[in-house]
Structures are given as C-alpha cells and as structure tokens.
Amino acid sequence: MRKDYNLEKRKFVIGGFITVLVIIYIVRLFTLQVSDSQYRKNADSNALLEKLIYPSRGLIFDRNDSLVVFNEPAYDLVMIPKDVMPFDTIDFCNTLQISREELDDRFEKMKKSSNYSGYTQQIVANHLSQQDYGRIQEKLYRFPGFFIVQRILRHYNYTCAANILGDIREVNAKDIERDDYYRPGDLTGDLGVEKSYERYLRGRKGVEYLYRDALGKIKGRYRDGADDVEPIAGNDLHLTIDMELQQLGEELMKGYIGAIVAIEPKTGEILCLVSSPNYDPSLLIGKERGKHYAELVRDPSKPLYDRAIMAAYPPGSTFKPSQGLIFLQEGVINLSTMYPCSHGFVNAGMRVGCHGHSSPIALKPAIQTSCNSYFCWGLKRMLENKKKYGSIGQAFEVWKKYMVSMGYGYRLGVDLPGESRGFIPNTAYYDKALGKDKWVANSIISDAIGQGEILATPLQIANLSATIANRGYYITPHVVRYIAGVGVLKRCIERHDTDIDKSYYEPIAEGMRMAVTGGTCRKANIAGLEVCGKTGTAQNPHGRDHSVFMGFAPMNDPKIAICVYAENAGFGASVAVPVGARIIEHYLKGRPGADKEDAAKSGKKGAKKK
C-alpha cells in the first residue's frame, strides 16, 4: 500500500501545535505561581495584613544646639479597599464628622488616583486631631478594613528661617516613580533642608505583619512578629545657622525686599540666610497646609522665593574689589598706578558718572571712595592689550576665568535646592549680542563696576567677601554643620583657591578697611572691631537703585563675612551698611550695649548680696 506523506506531515504539524500549547501553558503557570509577585501578594493579602510603621523624622538643631524642628504624633485613617466589608455609612460619616457627599467624593478621588490599588493602604482622612483619633478609635471595630496609622507632624520652636528649613508635603506620582521607598500618602521634604537632606531625615519604615481569619478579622501577629521590621529613626541635622542671628536679620529686613547672607569665612558655614519677605514655617503643617501654600504662591511679594540664593542681582560696586585683584594679577596696575576721574570715566564720547573725590586716584583710595572711573580705566587697559592677549575676546576670556575662580557665574553648590548661578558673560555672548569683532572695551565698560550684564546672588557676593577675608580661598558655603551618625558631607567642605596670588588680597582688604574708617562705609565703623567693607548702589532700570553692602570682620582674624542686599532702597550706605553693621556687631559682641546691660545687672545683684 502506498504511503500517504501528506497525512504524515499533518501528524507532525498537529503534534508540534499541541507541544507549543503545552509549553505556553507551563510557562504561564510558572509565571503566575512563581515569578509574578503580584498574584502571590494578592494571595498573601487574604491571610496577612502588612501594616507600615512610620519612623520618627530626624530633628533639626541650630549651631548652638538649640532645638529648631521637632516631631509630634499625627494620625491618618486608612483603608485597604479589598478588605472593606459593608458598613453603616451614616455612622461612619458621623464618626468622621463629614457629610455623605464628602465621603463619596473622597472615595471617588481615591479610585481615580494613578497609585490606587485595592490591595494597598489608601488614606481616607489625614492629620487627625487627638480628639478625632480617640473618637474614631473607639468605633473602629464597626468598620472592617479601616485602621489608623500613626505618623508625625513637624513643629517649630522659631517663627523664622522658613527658607532654610523648608517643610514636608504628601508625595505625588513623580515622587513614587522616582523612589520606591514611597507609597501613596507618605510624606517627603519640600523646600529647604527638609528637601535636600530628605534621605537622611526620613529614616526607614518598619512593617508589622498581622494574620486574619477567613472573615478578615485580625487574629494576632504573624509568626509572633518574627518577620516584623522595626522602623529606624531619621538622622538629626545640626545646622550652621545661629537662630538668634537669623531672627535679628529677619527683623532688620522687615519692610524691605532682599536678603542677608552671613558666612564664617574659615569654614564656609552660613551663619544666617535671610530672604525678605519671609513667612512662619508653621503655616505649612497640618490640614491647612494646602490653603496656606496657595496663599503664599499668590502673594505678589513672593515669600516662597529664596532671594538669598535664587535672586540674581547686579552686584554694583561690591564687584570692584574683584576687579582690583584681577588687574593686580595681570599686571595692569600696581599699588602706585593712578587713573583720572573727572566726576566719572570720560572716554571716546562716553561717560560713566562718579561722585566727587581727589583725582587722579590709586587703587586703595579708589576702593575707599568707590571710584567708578578707576575700575573702568583698569578694564579698558586690560582688554585693549592686544600685545599680551591677541584680541579683546581672548582678553575677556582671561577676565572671565578669574571671575569664575572667585565663585561667580556658576552655582557655588550650597546644600539648599534652587540655587541660581548668576551670570558672567563670555566672549561668545558679546559676539552674538553685539556682533563678532564689532565690540570694544567701551561697549562693555559697565562690567567693571558690577553693572551691565553682570548678575550675582547675595550668596555669591557674601562668598567673595569671605574669599577676601581668607586672602584667596573659600570653602563651599553650607547650612548643615553635620548629620548625626553620618558626619559632614565632603562636598560641603571643599576648599576652592582662586587664581589670584595671595599677596594681592592684603591691599584690597586695606582698601575695604579705609572705606569703613573714612569712606563710603562709615556707618559700619564699630568700636573695638576692625570691620572691612564695600558699598554698592546697583542701578535698577525698573525703579530706585538697590542698596548693597559686603564686608567682613575682624580684618586680620575674620569671624564673619556678610552681604546685605535691599531692593529699591537707594544708596548702599543708607540701608544695607547699617543693617550689615548690626549683624556683625551682634555676632561678634552680642546685643548692642549687651556688655553694659550685663555689668549693670551684675552690679544690682552684688548690691543685694551686700
């Protein structure tokens, strides 16, 4: 009989098809039972309840170990939707003290959330008061699937430093996507050190496993707690901030828009970081956080905007010491070099005005009197030296390199979110704006006096003051002194040496000292303290000039360097200098007149003893 090869092929095809189906079935079965954790999780959840235990968030102290931020318990009512059994909604709403419509609205929003799952904890009501907690806990047995989770709320011992401290908020979908530590309803740092040090402050969550019967009732701890994980409290932060100095700074800046930054030069530790106007950090805690946050966002004075590190201003005449350093380093001038000042810089039909003083003038008196003409001539001489640099563009790149080494044009790396880089233009910028080979020194001469396109943050200006105080280097400015159990982060204590020879800083410091003893900074002349300073009156095309001051003290053993920037406040000597002087005096000598007050008190006590 002849063999039917078509039938033979059909057998192989059918056999192969069945084999493929079996393999697919086995693979899928393996996936469902072994690989796919979701199904195992769902099965486990029928018998086990995974209850999260939230850790205590790290505390925050100031540089004098005063407690600044601490925790108080708060309670959230949560539910696992799959475990919820039919319940008396009227009784439930009365217990929560909400309407049925509000309850339905909460459930509806919960289900629409991208993080919704019937097997995980969902928040029904958060930030319960002690009274609410007691009332709900008493009736909780009537509502299967609902339970209470303890969390923490931040509380503040001071009403200042909100821009430094920040706050905490509920996580959003992006937070959860970026970090699998978070679950819906968790809290995370928002703004300030709460945000930048979140991973240290938050600690590690614990888990308690409870088992239940077929009806869903909790029967006890699974395996007597053998699998439970204890929470680990967050690390405490110890700030560099002196809260008394911070309070004084915020008080002095009331009524002004601007900032104060004070730094300990040798360490880079920020002593105060004032942004004005400011707000009470306690506004952003509890149930009213959303409402208050919206109000702060709408406020036209922008209290959430940290002007100390985010605002980029023209530095004005506080920029001149950096120019003197560059000119000395590049051999453009020496201490005897004198330039004329005809009530300003006058050249090739242009004029940059200046106030009256002797002429011609040398470097140190030019700093003392804040002569615009001197520094304009210096920059012109440098940029037009084609024999040394080849072109104005190459000369300007050399100039910019020095400015970058002094901390301008880029972020300093402060350990707070949102720092601005300011702006120092380069040759390419002017080639594009003015035309390649079409600009000359006079085209950008305002750069010499901190105007034109130059922008700097108050932090950068204070850092320049610290660099001069240190005679040529700065430590990365930072607001956290150390983290308990961790220490100091290395990135916060990096030393940065400028490209300027150390010897050139001494005459600059002397010029700044002369500005205090007999120049534009006379209001900063404090008995017993050798204060060095430099004023700035930054031109503002939108209104009154800005008032600026930078300085440090004592001259030869600097403990504090400072910048005060007051928007639209007029001359630097009128507002910024007195404010800076008060901060310096308070930090180095205590309250103005404190010694006399203490002596008087001691005398009275002594009289009583006699």
Task: Report pLDDT digits (tens) over 133-168.
Answer: 888 888 888 888 888 888 788 999 999 999 999 999
pLDDT on residue 2: 53
Contact (Cβ atoms closer than 8 angstroms) between residue 558 and residue 266? yes
Backbone torsions φ then ψ of 270, nearest 5 degrees: -80, 120
pLDDT on residue 151: 78
Backbone torsions φ then ψ of 33, nearest 5 degrees: -90, -25
Architecture field, domain 255-276+309-589: 3-Layer(aba) Sandwich (3.40)
Q: CB count, 10 Å around CB of 453?
A: 14
Beta bridge partners of 274: 260
Q: For the chain, give the number of residues.
A: 610
Q: CB count, 10 Å around CB of 202?
A: 25
Say how far apart CA 552 and CA 559 lie, in whole Å: 8
Residues of the chain with CATH 3.40.710.10: 255-276+309-589
The b/e string for 74-104 (b: 16+ C-beta within 10 A; e otherwise) is bbbbbbbbebbeeeeeeebbebbeeeeeebe
Collapse the DSSP code of 204 into the 3-class scheme (helix H, G, I; strand E, B; otherwise coil) and give the result: strand
Tell me which residue of 136, 172, 389, 408 sits closest to 290, measured CA to CA. Answer: 172
pTM: 0.84
Say how far apart CA 353 and CA 357 lie, in whole Å: 12
Say how far apart CA 56 and CA 230 lie, in whole Å: 12
Alpha helices in 225-355 (DSSP H): 243-252, 289-298, 320-329
What token pair was written down for 475? 């430590």
Residues of the chain with CATH 3.90.1310.10: 49-239
Architecture field, domain 49-239: Alpha-Beta Complex (3.90)
Q: CB count, 10 Å around CB of 470?
A: 21
Tell me which residue of 600, 595, 491, 585 sits closest to 245, measured CA to CA. Answer: 585
Say how far apart CA 32 and CA 40 lie, in whole Å: 8
Give the position of tokens 């828009």.
Answer: 257
Say how far apart CA 299 and CA 276 lie, in whole Å: 13
Collapse the DSSP code of 261 into the 3-class scheme (helix H, G, I; strand E, B; otherwise coil) and give the result: strand
pLDDT on residue 592: 52
**Mean pLDDT for back-to-back runs of 10 residues, the chain (610 residues):** 55 71 75 55 59 90 96 86 86 88 86 76 81 84 84 90 94 89 88 96 89 65 79 96 97 96 98 96 87 93 96 96 98 96 90 87 96 96 96 97 98 96 97 94 96 96 98 97 92 93 98 95 94 88 83 96 91 87 94 43 35
Listed in order, strand segments (DSSP E) in 476-610 are: 480-483, 495-497, 532-538, 546-553, 560-566
Tell me which residue of 507, 553, 551 sits closest to 530, measured CA to CA. Answer: 553
Say how far apart CA 24 and CA 130 lie, in whole Å: 56
